[in-house]
Chains A and B, each alone.
Chain A
Amino acid sequence: MANALTIVIVEQDKDRASAIVESLRETGEHDIHVLAGESGLARSVMRLEPDVVLIDVADPSRDSIEQIALASGPMDRAVALFVDHSDAQMTKTAIEAGVSAYVVDGLQFDRIKPVIDAAIARFQLYQRMRTELETTKRALEDRKIIDRAKGLLIKARNISEEEAYALLRKTAMDQGKRVAEVSRALVSAADLLL
């Protein structure tokens, strides 16, 4: 296979790793290996002599991999290097998406581009999912705390649910805060008092 690349993915999460593998397979018949961030990681990566190494930007094991880019000396052609320096924009996009790629120097750019593009797309998807998950989680927590605050007001002031919510909203507006924040303050104050 002329176009086959040896790709190493460093990823501890098995599900995530297999999703990345799957999306890379769509770009060609590559020889793909998945490693978890173990000690001696640099050695394991080097043994596989990869063309491309992909790792999450947020993974602290990146600093172990980094030494491969330096180990055999910068003047040596057969060294893995940080993403092709001819395309700073792609590197920037990759980092923003949360993936860092080490690519063997001298490899033709059009050979690796589909792989990097696929990795970027996959990581962007993950990032979007993570953000969405966090937003949903927060919305749920907010809802819960607002309900508790409403309950406290209904009991303490003997008002209706609508009135309780209106009161929270007005207070939030007056103080320039979110309704959830005002509710949280009320709930924690009530926890102290009661």
Chain B
Amino acid sequence: MKLRPLSAGFIPLVDAAPLIVAKELGFAEEEGLALDLVSAPSWSTLRDMLAFGQIQAAHMLSPVPVASALGLMNGIPRLNALMVLSVNGTVFGISESIAQRLENTSFAFDFSGAQAAGRALAELKTPLRIGVPFILSMHHELVSLWLTRSGMVAGEDFQICAVPPPMMAQAVKNGDLDAFCVGEPWGSVTVERASGILLVPGSAIWSSAPEKVLAVREDWAEKHPDETARLMRATWRAAEWLGRKGNSAMAAEFMAVDRYLGLGPDIIERALTGELIVNSQGDLRKTPDFLRLHGSDTCFPWKSKAAWIGESLSCRYGLEPLSSKASAESVFRSDLFRENLAGLGANMTLVSDATEDASNEIQTAEDHSEELILGPNRFL
């Protein structure tokens, strides 16, 4: 059988794992695809390559397809999220000098409670300059939500700006940034370079935040339903493999090579196992659910999560909230997820909405055949 060529772009990050494994372990080939993976230098360039057809699919920040539906990016066509590639996986870190000041208040650096950490930051009464990789990102959403709930005011008590992760460590060291929120391996890299201390994982702010999605152009998905299905199946099977116990060391080896992350496998594996070194003294903290690539409802593109992102963006950019919610929901393709992944053992649900920001309990939803167990979904 002749393989169909398909190019997918990615940013060298640990949560690009499902695409890398889909290629390296042959899931893509088994689904009839000759998958070519292209590394991109920045999120804007990755988005443009997707928008203008140099690639057909991309590892993408979850707010980007939503922003495309809200018309926030002029000239960019509608992008769809076929499935969620990763839940959580980001870290919030601070500079040496901020850490010093927290230490003086005898703050416990336990790398878990977001409420206590937020309060401690607010009590410093110092405006914080915070770097995130891209302005349309879950990083931005999480930091804004968390610090606002901790009593800080956006634009006054904290300022968020976009800094490319490779430059983040230097910017913190130079004193241009007081804090940062990045995806792995960049948090660990900052610790390795002794220019930052990790304060809380993103999962302490929202325990089930859709971080990256598998994105395609909406018109491409319409014209190529078969390739879309093959790509989704290959990626889903890779994610399932990644979710199995004991595969993280091998996954880290796949990703370590130059054409993917070009870093030592040990630093990559930290995120996969949720065991992070949080400071240059080498203190290790274990975070269950630090990064979820599979299991329960991880890959399911909940419309309610798209709506949550849409609401947040419409609020920030002054858009009409009701129509924004509908537009946001329309790009998270839970319909294609059901259609294409039934029969692969993927968690299915008849509803596409869950309650965001309400539950502290593990929820269950009715499925056609069996019960879908929803992961814990909890805000700080």
Contact = CB atoms under 8 A, between A and B. Distances in A.
Interface of A: 37, 39-40, 42, 57-67, 69-71, 73-75, 81-85, 88, 91-92, 95-96, 100, 105
Nearest to B45: A57
A127 to B, nearest CB: 14
Contact residues of B: prevailing secondary structure: loop
A82 B75 CA distance: 7
B177 to A, nearest CB: 7
A150 B375 CA distance: 63
Contacts of A71: 135
B162 A67 contact: yes
A193 B53 CA distance: 49
Contacts of A57: 41, 45, 48
Contacts of A40: 161, 176
B73 A82 contact: yes
A91 B174 contact: no
Interface in B51-68: 52-54
Interface residues of B, number: 33
Q: Which of B45, B164, B170 has the most chain A CB atoms inside 10 A of its CB?
A: B45
A62 B49 CA distance: 14
Given A39-B176, A57-B45, A63 B52 contact: no
Contacts of B71: 74
Interface of B: 41-45, 48-49, 52-54, 71-76, 133-136, 161-164, 166-167, 170-171, 174, 176-177, 317-318
Contacts of B174: 39
Contacts of B72: 70, 74
A83 B71 CA distance: 15
A59 to B, nearest CB: 7
A42 B162 contact: yes
A79 to B, nearest CB: 9
A73 B74 contact: no
Given A62-B44, A63-B162, A82-B76, 7 more contacts: A60-B164, A63-B163, A66-B162, A67-B135, A81-B74, A82-B48, A91-B52
Contacts of A60: 41-42, 164, 166-167
B355 to A, nearest CB: 29
Contacts of B318: 73, 75
Contacts of B177: 39
18 contacts: A39-B163, A39-B171, A40-B161, A40-B176, A42-B162, A57-B41, A60-B42, A60-B164, A62-B44, A62-B45, A64-B163, A66-B162, A69-B73, A70-B136, A84-B75, A92-B53, A95-B52, A100-B45
